[in-house]
A and B are shown apart, each in its own frame.
Chain A
Amino acid sequence: MNFSKAKFAAAILAVAIAAPTAASAYELTLPSLDYRTGPYAPGGIPYANGYHDYFNMLNQRDGGINGVKVNVIACETGYNTKKGVECYEKTKNAGSGALVYMPLSTGITYQLIPKVTADKIPLVTIGYGRTSARNGKVFEYIFNPPATYWDGATVAVKHATDIDGDLKGKKIALVYHNSAYGKEPIRTLEAMAKQRGFELMLLPVDHPGQEQKATWLQIRRNKPDWVFMWGWGVMNQVAIKEASSIRFPMDHFLGIWWSGGENDVLPAGAAADGYKALAFNAVGSDFAVHADITKHVYEKGVAIDQSYAARIGETHYNRGIFAGVLVSEAIKNAMSIHNTKEPTPAQVRDGLEALNITEDKWAELGLAGFTGPVTLSCADHRGSSSIAVQQWDASAKKWNIITDFVAPLDDVTAPLIAADSAAYAAENNITPRDCN
């Protein structure tokens, strides 16, 4: 009896010792801070599906990245900053160790900046987050390609100028989500208002933004020439309906890229026709990548959200793919720079700084004409940037890109970024690193 007990104990011990060896097969671990529940789920779901599907496709089609499997670990944040931080703490040592974080929330980004910097894990915020993190000398682990909210603000003003000519004496209203996210563009717009002589009206909308009558009454009274919107979730749908109700010209109503999803315009029906939004990637599913995703992921029945099949190619979904491409290319770079198949997060940081996705490269990846080139460096964590304007066609239920992809006005934002990042460095005793 005793003998068999001892044998049993030895067997357990053997399994316990062997288990870590078995589990230690290296996988590229990418936590994905998703939000599929709560008030912001309609924006969170398409993006998360795009991100998951892209890596799923790489695993199915190519066996991962350079033959190493990718393990995307989903963690639900509900777009709640506190839960986002919990997700970070829970997943940073999961699997073979987290390589990159993408929280899809400016609130969570702000909380994670000091944490990822201490843990040396890159935080990539695609078209959101802290604008001054563009300065890679101060924010070593934070990246914000291919566009920041300040860039968005400059392109919005540029678009208004292209349509209406000189903005001197004109009025622009900013309707914004009253949060870290919505407040981001104010500084740039204020600087541009001074430079270009337009008047800026600031109209915050509290979370969640289900009721905005007072905001739109003010717009009715003050008759701005343009309304820019930094909205997210239900705020977008309500604002678009209200704008149409007060008969605000929809072609002078321009949202940031997060206010330009299909879910934002569809509930408003015909009323949303002509509404515009900024974009840093193309919409639609006519790309080779989408065909591969359909073939290798949905047709095999291995998608994280199988019911989504008919919707691939939506704006936020494509943004998830965009994020996936940046991360996978950075991992490839890290592998080749450091000559390893098992990169560390710090090595992936180097890979991100070496990103150089030219138009040819986008085409090679199955995304010809999807967006402009993305080139990052040690000092410039946003890199080259291309932003276009898309417009909603309500009868065809389709977004159309109506301008070229243009570069934002860096001369406006560069001094603001320098000042803000210098202040951050001073506050946190950071000595800017040498990038030469």
Chain B
Amino acid sequence: MAFDLFLLEVIVTGLLAGVMYALVALGFVLIFKASGVFNFAQGVMCLFAALTLAGIMEKTGWPAWVAIPLTIGVMIALAWLIERLVLRHLINQDPIILFMATIGLAYVLEGSGDIIWGSDVKVLDIGLPQGAVDWLLDTHNFYIEKLEIFAAVIAAVLVGVLAIFFQKTRIGRALRAVADDHQAALSVGISLRTIWVIVWSVAGIVALVAGVVWGTKSGVQFSLSLIALKALPVLILGGFTSIPGAIVGGLIIGVGEKLAEVYMGPLVGGAVENWFAYMLALAFLLIRPQGLFGEKIIERV
């Protein structure tokens, strides 16, 4: 009985960890969906956003409700700058060129974050709940983290808002048009530049959410940019263009890797979590190369 409860605990913890990965994966999906660019800098954007928030709060002593809108402003300004300095010059280029540009962007952002805010750990406390859910632990000896439940709620809200944004609004539809074909979108009067600023701003805000959750967990520090590595198998599994895919992919990876670590780890010496996620993604690639919810691309030659 106790064993079953432990199994349930592993599964629930896995699901919640999966949501945390999905939060990061969402940013990738947004930009890929709307512009066909795989944004290598998404992980660093999470770091940069969290660093800016923690930095503003630390340097000025302002409360979170002032610092958060300010940080959102910074992320929007950043999106505008990226469009102005990078993307504008690469319209209609191959996706690989845009991808390479985002690699450069990752280095620039990481370096700027370091120069502006320093590379020390910053404590980020905006009042998010932390620690175990006490009554569950006291009454049922069942352990769940409050912060992760909060992350799950945030993720649900984000997915809802984004789904409405993409399906129901004009800008959302324009975003999808741009993703399909830059030139065709331009020819029907969609302003590519505006769209790019909007989508990078939204991705920046999503990066802030992910950065805040992860930064609350471990303190804001440069290892945050590496959580992008956790988002990659999620994306492969869920598909690069699907928001629900990012969530479902996250959940599968989360549960899969926790079960593997807890039950298979002791047999093979442990630390299987990371490669297991990639193995799972690889296995999926063989069966469904476009991921669970991704669009199947058929190119005629």
Is B273 touching A234 in the complex (CB atoms < 8 A)?
A: no
What's the nearest-Cβ distance from chain A to residue B242, in Å? 23
Write out the residue numbers on chain A whose beta carbons fall within 8 Å of the beta carbon of B257. Answer: 214
What's the nearest-Cβ distance from chain A to residue B26, in Å? 17
Chain B residue nearest in CB terms to A215:
B261
**Cβ contacts A264-279/B at 8 Å (1 or 0 each):** 0011010100000000
Given contacts A210-B227, A218-B262, A271-B131, is CB(A237)–CB(B273) below 8 Å? Answer: no
Chain A residue nearest in CB terms to B215:
A267
Given contacts A36-B119, A210-B226, A213-B13, is CB(A204)–CB(B269) below 8 Å? Answer: yes
Write out the residue numbers on chain B whose beta carbons fall within 8 Å of the beta carbon of A37. Answer: 114, 119, 222
Q: How far is it, in angstroms, between the C-alpha of A208 and the C-alpha of B218 when the chains are bound?
A: 11
Given contacts A41-B119, A178-B271, A220-B143, is CB(A233)–CB(B219) below 8 Å? Answer: no
Q: How far is it, in angstroms, between the C-alpha of A231 and the C-alpha of B224 when the chains are bound?
A: 17
Chain B residue nearest in CB terms to A261:
B121
What's the nearest-Cβ distance from chain B to residue A34, in Å? 11
Interface residues in B, total, Cβ within 8 A: 42
Write out the residue numbers on chain B whose beta carbons fall within 8 Å of the beta carbon of A63. Answer: none
Write out the residue numbers on chain B whose beta carbons fall within 8 Å of the beta carbon of A5. Answer: none
Q: Which of A204, A218, A233, A307 contacts B223 (CB 8 A)?
A: A233
Flag whether B221 is at the interface (Cβ < 8 A).
Answer: yes
Write out the residue numbers on chain A whose beta carbons fall within 8 Å of the beta carbon of B219. Answer: 234, 237, 263, 266-267
Flag whether B4 is at the interface (Cβ < 8 A).
Answer: no
**Cβ contacts A314-339/B at 8 Å (1 or 0 each):** 00000000000000000000000000
What's the nearest-Cβ distance from chain B to residue A41, in Å? 4
**Cβ contacts B201-236/A at 8 Å (1 or 0 each):** 000000000000010011101111011001000000
Within 8 A of A (CB), among B240-291: 257-258, 261-262, 265-266, 269-271, 273-274
Write out the residue numbers on chain B whose beta carbons fall within 8 Å of the beta carbon of A38. Answer: 119, 222
Flag whether A309 is at the interface (Cβ < 8 A).
Answer: no
Write out the residue numbers on chain A whose beta carbons fall within 8 Å of the beta carbon of B125. Answer: 269
Is B271 touching A205 in the complex (CB atoms < 8 A)?
A: yes
Flag whether A363 is at the interface (Cβ < 8 A).
Answer: no
Contacts between the two chains (Cβ within 8 Å), count = 116
Q: How far is it, in angstroms, between the C-alpha of A358 and the C-alpha of B98 when the chains are bound?
A: 62
Is A214 touching B273 in the complex (CB atoms < 8 A)?
A: yes
Flag whether A203 is at the interface (Cβ < 8 A).
Answer: yes
Flag whether B192 is at the interface (Cβ < 8 A).
Answer: no
Flag whether A246 is at the interface (Cβ < 8 A).
Answer: yes
Write out the residue numbers on chain B whose beta carbons fall within 8 Å of the beta carbon of A244. Answer: 131
What's the nearest-Cβ distance from chain B to residue A168, in Å? 23
Flag whether A120 is at the interface (Cβ < 8 A).
Answer: no
Within 8 A of A (CB), among B121-179: 121, 123, 125, 130-132, 137, 143, 145
Write out the residue numbers on chain B whose beta carbons fall within 8 Å of the beta carbon of A206. Answer: 271, 273-274
Is A42 touching B269 in the complex (CB atoms < 8 A)?
A: no
Residue with the greatest number of chain A CB neighbours at <10 A, chosen from B121, B214, B230, B273? B121
Chain B residue nearest in CB terms to A238:
B218
Is A241 touching B120 in the complex (CB atoms < 8 A)?
A: no
Write out the residue numbers on chain B whose beta carbons fall within 8 Å of the beta carbon of A202. Answer: 269-270
Given contacts A38-B222, A211-B17, A217-B262, is CB(A245)–CB(B269) below 8 Å? Answer: no
Q: How far is it, in angstroms, between the C-alpha of A42 and the C-alpha of B132 when the chains are bound?
A: 27
Flag whether B10 is at the interface (Cβ < 8 A).
Answer: yes
Is A39 touching B258 in the complex (CB atoms < 8 A)?
A: no
Is B226 touching A263 in the complex (CB atoms < 8 A)?
A: no
Is A213 touching B17 in the complex (CB atoms < 8 A)?
A: yes
Write out the residue numbers on chain A whose beta carbons fall within 8 Å of the beta carbon of B230. Answer: 210-211
Flag whether B62 is at the interface (Cβ < 8 A).
Answer: no
Chain B residue nearest in CB terms to A262:
B121
Is B270 touching A203 in the complex (CB atoms < 8 A)?
A: yes
Flag whether A416 is at the interface (Cβ < 8 A).
Answer: no
Q: How far is it, in angstroms, between the C-alpha of A264 and the C-alpha of B28 when the chains are bound?
A: 31
**Cβ contacts A177-220/B at 8 Å (1 or 0 each):** 01000000000000000000000001111101111011101101
Is A237 touching B120 in the complex (CB atoms < 8 A)?
A: no
**Cβ contacts A21-40/B at 8 Å (1 or 0 each):** 00000000000000011110
What's the nearest-Cβ distance from chain B to residue A325, in Å? 25
What's the nearest-Cβ distance from chain B to residue A341, in Å? 38
Q: How far is it, in angstroms, between the C-alpha of A121 and the C-alpha of B20 when the chains are bound?
A: 48
Is B143 touching A246 in the complex (CB atoms < 8 A)?
A: yes
Is B123 touching A267 in the complex (CB atoms < 8 A)?
A: yes
What's the nearest-Cβ distance from chain B to residue A122, in Å? 29
Residue with the greatest number of chain B CB neighbours at <10 A, chosen from A42, A178, A244? A42
Q: How far is it, in angstroms, between the C-alpha of A21 and the C-alpha of B17 when the chains are bound?
A: 63
26 pairs from A and B in contact (CB 8 Å cutoff): A36-B119, A37-B222, A38-B119, A39-B226, A42-B120, A202-B269, A204-B270, A206-B274, A208-B223, A210-B224, A213-B17, A214-B265, A217-B143, A233-B221, A233-B223, A234-B218, A237-B218, A241-B130, A245-B131, A245-B143, A246-B132, A246-B143, A247-B137, A266-B123, A267-B123, A271-B130
11 A-B pairs besides A214-B10, A217-B6 with CB distance below 8 A are: A39-B223, A41-B221, A210-B224, A214-B257, A214-B261, A220-B9, A233-B221, A241-B130, A247-B132, A247-B137, A267-B218
